[in-house]
């Protein structure tokens, strides 16, 4: 169990030290689509599961545009606002459907047609999001380490190789249960506040 615990703790450290795209990372000049995909794939390369994975592709961007998750593109270039939206979409799409993402982002996109401060408000929302998630990595690290220790103390552990797999399966199940609870709560908020608003 000690070897598994050490490996898992190292994996937690790796996950928790990965950073999001900061506002200061985003270029002030508008970017062509190739530059946007390169920017995302460079900045978020630590989030790739496999080396050949792509964080963002032209096809993905086109699909987001068709689903009206992005502001209209002007002159084939993407603005800072659109890059912020793409970063939010990247985070949301890990769990939510495109339809749910559309419901969440539609009030932001609608504001751009009627509020002169929409761009500033989007930047504030994004920077607040980045600030709020900072302590989450720490909380996650402590929570999961406690669960790993708890599972390792279980009566079934006899240093048999099969018990190692049992421990790993239990940890995966605990993680998935936590992810499911978070997902269900997010969906309840969307259904209660965003879906009803779009149907009015």
Q: Note the pLDDT tens digit of each residue in 130-182.
A: 999 999 999 999 999 999 998 888 765 555 666 788 889 999 999 999 999 99
CA distances from 158 to 69, 150, 154, 167 (A): 52, 15, 9, 11
Return the structure tokens found at 73.
Answer: 């593109």
Which tens digit of pLDDT belongs to each residue from 33-88?
999 999 999 999 999 999 999 999 999 999 999 999 999 988 899 999 999 999 99
Q: Is residue 190 within 8 Å of residue 100, measured between CB atoms? A: yes
Per-residue pLDDT at 167:
86
Domain chopping of the chain, boundaries = 2-199
Task: Burial-class residue 164 by CB neighbours within 10 Å (0-12, 13-18, 19+).
Answer: middle
CB 124 within 8 A of CB 108: no
- Predicted pLDDT of residue 155: 66
Tell me, what's the pLDDT at 164? 84
| Burial tier of 49 (Cβ tally within 10 Å: 0-12, 13-18, 19+) | exposed
Span 92-125, pLDDT tens digits: 999 999 999 999 999 999 999 899 999 999 999 9
pLDDT (0 to 100) of residue 20: 95
| Tokens 């603005």 belong to residue | 79
């Amino acid at each position: 169990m000690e070897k598994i615990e050490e490996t898992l703790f190292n994996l937690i450290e790796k996950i928790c030290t990965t950073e999001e795209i900061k506002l200061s990372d985003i270029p002030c000049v508008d970017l062509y689509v190739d530059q946007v995909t390169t920017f995302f794939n460079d900045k978020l390369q630590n989030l790739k599961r496999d080396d050949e994975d792509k964080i963002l592709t032209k096809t993905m961007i086109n699909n987001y545009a068709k689903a009206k998750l992005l502001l209209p593109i002007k002159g084939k270039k993407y603005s800072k606002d659109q890059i912020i939206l793409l970063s939010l979409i990247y985070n949301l799409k890990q769990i939510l459907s495109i339809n749910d993402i559309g419901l969440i982002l539609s009030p932001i996109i609608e504001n751009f047609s009627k509020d002169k401060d929409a761009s500033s408000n989007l930047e504030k929302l994004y920077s607040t999001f980045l600030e709020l998630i900072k302590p989450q990595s720490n909380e996650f690290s402590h929570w999961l380490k406690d669960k790993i220790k708890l599972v390792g103390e279980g009566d079934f552990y006899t240093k048999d190789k099969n018990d190692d797999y049992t421990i790993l399966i239990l940890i995966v199940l605990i993680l998935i249960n936590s992810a499911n609870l978070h997902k269900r709560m997010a969906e309840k908020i969307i259904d209660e506040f965003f879906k009803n608003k779009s149907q009015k």
